[in-house]
Structure 1
């Protein structure tokens, strides 16, 4: 085994690799950028070296050499499937913890990979590489619907479904930009889209002695925009015979390129014909969802990556691989489901992660961590194992209910809603299920207890900062008077004592009340006989409250503050949407589709912002003349004004005179 290994990655995967290195007694070296100076993987490594970029091969190799490492573990994403890194490691006398250059080169090019696998006798989906000329003809030959995907990509980045030939040019342009930014290669692949498919992948291990085994399959059909959200092992679809066949096919793919290490072969399986499967691609690295395989097999895949890279043979035969129970994983992202899953940024003000029997959390989170727009939005993975699939889903849901991240938006509440869906619980899955489910989901509203918790936090802050007789608890000379608040649009009235020093009070929350309120220990209270302990933290004008996995950012305003805001806001009547177009998230302007002075219509694309390796089109909220306030490549903050629309009469639009009451 190696003495020192450099981990050329960040976030939860870097933390996860460091954990195995330490368990094996190996010194772990991390790399980090300025944006990650305070990151958890930096704190957990034995040594950490600053680099300009995680994508710089020269810097990674120099850091490994300077630290005395014998090997480089690339994690996933970034340089993990880059053959140039493998060559550079070899030239520097370092071991690349991954497959050989041949496997990396063949499988990195999706077109070449499909041709190679088809020659090996594995069935593939019809597709073609795009050369930049004759794209329309190539698409017409395949037929619509089509899937556009980066040839060198992964993780769903840059993948676009095209149903109409008229949408192809814009889809190709956007996919090329994402591919170039995320992978340094804008080559694209067109594939015929298989309707209602299931995404099933097979985990492989191979040593340097031509011994290849598979560790069963994972179901990864719960995806949003081709990005996996919830994965499980084994798949509820496959029967025993199909599991053996698909595993054997995956092993054949690995042998055809002399594969060494841990890898995954991804297949599309028809839900209507579950015994048929089509090769999609091979991921020549560790997968994000590898924990579910580890939980059902009892194996540490990172350990076996290291052992094989160090020259050890696999100690297992295929017949010794036994899948026990069921495991389900949910990915926690920094995104706002209520705003079309736009990336979220902020500082982790309060963190509570679940523990318990059958629960595992792979996380990069720590209180005080700033989550910015520079990197992928995945923050953590919550995983649960149980003897049966139903028990595993229930255990995962309970674990998510105990997951609290305050200070930025996450998708935890959305994950719980997905797990509660009847089709998900029954195993009736396909890659389009989430797309159909999302429009039916209603964001969870804070309960009366959450509103009370926010008010108590605000009153407590006011008491601690009070400097006059008019205190935040409502105390005044004369008869008792209730203190009224607006909590995120919900009226809350508190009558009685301060309710922060042990005295009782009565509260009314919206239509619920009056309710008896008794403060208990700090952070907990009794509301109508029920004890609540809700995590709360204040951040300027916002009070964050965690409840059953949900995180609510509430503005707690007194009646006077609420009235002042109403007076300051001007009624818009029947006027169109706000003419100021704001950035819905921090990011970089990657393209502009109009020029200042152009006449635009509502819904027309104005520009595109890239954040966390994903592109988001910004559209005009109303008709009029546009004035841009940003340039290509400019960095913008959340709510930054990127354009202004000035209403101008134009042909075909009738403008009725305004009549003020």
Structure 2
């Protein structure tokens, strides 16, 4: 490309680091990776031409350490730093430090980062340039009484959100005045922890809105253009789940108005590079839209725009950063077909989407679609970073065909060893409202809570076959079946039976004559969609019939005990022990040891992977704490015990919080 750039340091990790490195190499440039101790063996490290260690696993001491990233850039001879998204991508001080060091920051200038990085300032700024904004107010410098008075004047419902940061972190919905104090406290606590700034912004909550964003490109020669819109309405807890381009409700006239408003917002801060301007669109009146914020970086969902426009956004970022003028004009932009992206997270939908960790024993990307993955077979998913492990993106001439292609691709994506949200994603893309394009940001919250499907006969047979083939921990060939099962005689060969406890909580009986001989799998093949793996703790994972299942082999006695315990649960009994639902840090303990609590009362809060989770009392009783604030816990560790109140009835209706889930 241009002679001004030769080496690009990618100051990020996971799938975005790999995606940037691909374009850097395609352009004939040298790529430098950075990594924490947790990512020393990560794919992006191997795929780069050079790699530099930043520090320990903690993001604060590695990927967020601006001095360490700049040292890595200098040591590796990098001309430019591409920040990806998250981490330092919207940090004005880091961009300023890059410029001072003579290193190109692949992103906008300091003014754009500073103005758009503060939601309060950004809203006032773009409003002055003719961009419509949602009614609301800044809570900067106000005490709670003043905020309450201003909130009453603005009107409920309101959305409380941190002024700094993004991604829905810390946002709280307040429908009544009496809900405001708790929402303010929660939003401030999360904002301080995540962004180091607890300034809040309160805005009128638009009911059943759609989230539409516009991709913009701007060079240093005065050209600003847009590449159409993306529909990002399907969200859970303000985090996007599925995105598509173009939006099914945006016609050519509305696209022109949205694009013009986005370009005005970008031009108002002298924007240079790739950026995204986000809007809320009223579901009842799609012709009305309101500015939310501008993301001064590449977006997670940028692949859908690339697929419908044919424009490599990372290449455009690098060319703009090198000082080149844009080679495309607004009239050159054409949208071809429809693209849909699903974010694959390591999480457990059936337990409230709690983060999951572990080793990916088998990873296979689906054929025929684009998959941007952070993992491969053997990758370790830890609690140190965001739980997104891949993005699956389908493109087709029409929207219905793109949704169907995405569903097939999700069914063919194999992840063994770590639970994912793929079953939930498949349910979502098949939802009638989603297929019709009748979307709003609350759609997912209204859906029934995800449950664990019963295993299919094929999955059970595949699991049994893997065990029979010697897939036991330690590799003892054939060791699982004789150790775990009873035998039936009366024919020439003994028939062995194995009990498998499924993730659905039921025990399933499979006999050896039901289990076919397993076919050896190549972990990174794109062809096969059936696979099995037995991991160190004895759990067997299988993928068949378009879904993944896991099983714990049991002895006959253990199977009986599980069935007996299940009968107790069916009768309404609740265990007094409260296990940690996810690995993480105990950030707050809400009761004292020995306190009496009622069912549903919050005991403590655990934080991991950008998520807070409350552990609550399953029944009335007396609390015995096992951990203190600041403790690190593993999933399943008992954090508290609630001894039942003797006079309490044995059977109670479940609370809204669902016990410890």
Match of 1:9 among 9, 12, 15: 12
Indicate whether 1:51 and 2:27 are aligned. no
**What is the CA distance between 1:72 and its match in structure 2?**
0.8
Structure 2 residue 126 is the aligned partner of structure 1 residue 141: no
Match of 2:382 among 350, 372, 379: 372
Report the equivalent of 1:431.
441
Q: Equivalents in 2 of 1:472, 1:443: separation in Å?
A: 25
Q: Does the CA contact (< 8 Å) of 1:413 and 1:549 recur in 2?
A: no
Determine the structure 2 residue equivalent to 1:40. 43
Indicate yes or no: 2:634 matched with 1:637: yes
Alpha carbons of structure 1 residues 169 and 43: separation in structure 2 relative to 1, 3 Å: farther
Partner of 2:176: 164
**How far apart are 1:442 and its partner, in Å?**
4.7
In 2, distance between residues paired with 1:570 and 1:436?
31
1:309 and 2:321 are equivalent in the alignment: yes
Query: Secondary structure, in 3 states, of the residue corresponding to 2:444?
Result: helix
| 2:540 pairs with 1:543 | yes
Deviation at 1:179, TM superposition (A): 2.1
Which of 460, 463, 470 is equivalent to 1:454? 463
Find the partner of 1:241 among 214, 238, 253. 253
Query: Which residue of 79, 83, 103 corresponds with 1:70?
Result: 79
- Alpha carbons 1:109, 1:151 under 8 Å: kept: yes
Higher Rg of the two aligned structures = 1
Residue of structure 1 equivalent to 2:411: 401
Does the alignment pair 1:272 with 2:284?
A: yes
Give the Å deviation of 1:608: 1.1
Deviation digits for residues 194-227 of structure 1 (CA, Å, limit 9, x no counterpart): 0010000000000001110000000000111110
Distance in 1 between residues matched to 2:529 and 2:163, nearest whole Å: 50
Instruction: Give the equivalent residue in structure 2 for 1:605.
Output: 602
Match of 1:290 among 302, 309, 312: 302
Looking at structure 1, the residues matched to 217 and 529 of structure 2 have their Cα atoms a distance apart, in angstroms, of 46
**Which residue does the alignment assign to 2:623?**
626
Matching residue within 323, 330, 346 for 2:335 = 323
SS in 1 for 2:194: helix
Deviation for aligned residue 1:360 = 0.4
Quick check: 1:89 aligned with 2:98? yes
Alpha-carbon separation, structure 2, partners of 1:256 and 1:396 = 38
Deviations 1:231-258, CA, capped at 9 Å, x for gaps: 0000000111111111011101111110
- 1:485 paired with 2:498, answer yes
- Alpha-carbon distance in 2 for matches of 1:520, 1:11: 32
SS at 2:587 equivalent: strand
Deviation digits for residues 575-608 of structure 1, max 9, x if unmatched?
A: 7521111110001111121111222111111111
The alpha-carbon distance between structure 1 residues 396 and 369, as it changes in their structure 2 partners (threshold 3 A), is same
Q: Does 1:534 find its partner at 2:530?
A: yes
- In 1, distance between residues paired with 2:331 and 2:413? 38
Indicate if the aligned counterparts of 2:468 and 2:478 stay in contact, CA closer than 8 A: no
- 109-118 vs 180-189, which moves further: 180-189
Equivalent in the alignment of 1:195: 207
Aligned in 2, Cα 1:270/1:567: closer, same or farther, shift over 3 Å? closer
Residues 66-117 of structure 1 show CA distances to partners (whole Å, capped at 9, x for unaligned) of 1111111111111111101111111111111100110111111101111011
Q: CA deviation at 1:574?
A: 6.2
Tell which deviates more after alignment, 473-482 or 333-342: 473-482
* Pair 1:549–1:298, CA change in 2 (3 A): same
What is the SS of the residue equivalent to 2:385?
coil
Change (3 A) 1:62 1:622: same
Q: Which moved more, 1:395-404 or 1:41-50?
A: 41-50
Report whether the alignment pairs 1:110 with 2:119.
yes
After TM superposition, the score normalised by the length of structure 1 is 0.90
Q: Give, in whole Å, the separation in 1 of the partners of 2:329 and 2:510.
A: 68
The residue that corresponds to 1:338 in the other structure is 350
Q: Among 252, 255, 262, which residue is 1:250 paired with? A: 262
Relative distance call for 1:469 and 1:551 in structure 2 (3 A) is closer
Query: What secondary structure is seen at the aligned counterpart in 2 of 1:51?
Result: strand
1:183: which partner in 2?
195
Structure 1: how far apart are the matches of 2:481 and 2:314?
A: 62
Q: Is the 8 A contact 2:346 2:388 kept in 1?
A: yes
For residues 25 and 283 of structure 1, the distance between their equivalents in structure 2, rounded to whole angstroms, comes to: 28
Cα drift, residue 161 of structure 1: 1.4
Please say if residues 10 and 84 of structure 2, whose CA atoms lie closer than 8 Å, have aligned partners that are also in contact: yes
1:471 CA displacement: 7.5
Give me the whole-angstrom Cα distance separating, in 2, the residues matched to 1:24 and 1:406: 35
Conservation of the 8 A alpha-carbon contact between 1:470 and 1:476: no
Alignment correspondent of 2:612: 615
Aligned counterparts of 1:342 and 1:568: Cα–Cα separation in 2: 24
Q: Residues 402 and 579 from structure 1, CA distance in 2 versus in 1: closer, same or farther, beyond 3 angstroms? A: same
Distance 1:520 1:535 in 2: 9
What is the SS of the residue equivalent to 1:452?
helix
Aligned residues: 625
Q: Could you tell me how far 1:547 is from its partner in structure 2?
A: 2.5
**1:29 and 2:32 are equivalent in the alignment:** yes
> TM-score, with normalisation over the residues of structure 2?
0.90
Do 1:484 and 1:559's aligned partners in 2 also have CA atoms closer than 8 Å? no
User: How well do the aligned residues superpose, as a CA RMSD in angstroms?
Assistant: 2.5
Instruction: Give the Cα separation in 1 of the matches to 2:481 and 2:220.
Output: 78
Task: State the 1:138 CA deviation.
Answer: 2.6
Gaps of 5+ in 1: 500-504, 508-516, 525-531, 657-661
CA distance in 1, matches of 2:649, 2:84: 59
Return the offset for 1:550: 2.4
CA distance in 2, matches of 1:573, 1:436: 26
Write the distance in 2 (CA, Å) between the matches of 1:547 and 1:240.
43
Q: Distance in 1 between matches of 2:9 and 2:42?
A: 16
Distance 2:15 2:34 in 1: 14
Which whole-Å CA distance do the structure 2 matches of 1:523 and 1:562 have between them? Answer: 30
Q: For residue 420 of structure 1, what is the aligned residue in structure 2?
A: 430
| SS of the residue 2:8 aligns to | strand
In 1, the alpha carbon distance for the partners of 2:42 and 2:228 equals 34
Matched with 1:528 is none
SS where residue 202 of structure 1 aligns?
Answer: strand
Alignment partners' CA distance in 1, 2:507 and 2:627: 37
Contact 1:412 1:549 in 2 (8 A): no
1:191, distance to aligned residue in structure 2 (A) = 1.0
Please identify, of 285-294 and 632-641, the stretch whose mean Cα deviation from structure 2 is larger: 632-641
Deviates more, 1:461-470 or 1:309-318: 461-470
Output the CA distance in 2 between the equivalents of 1:369 and 1:163: 43
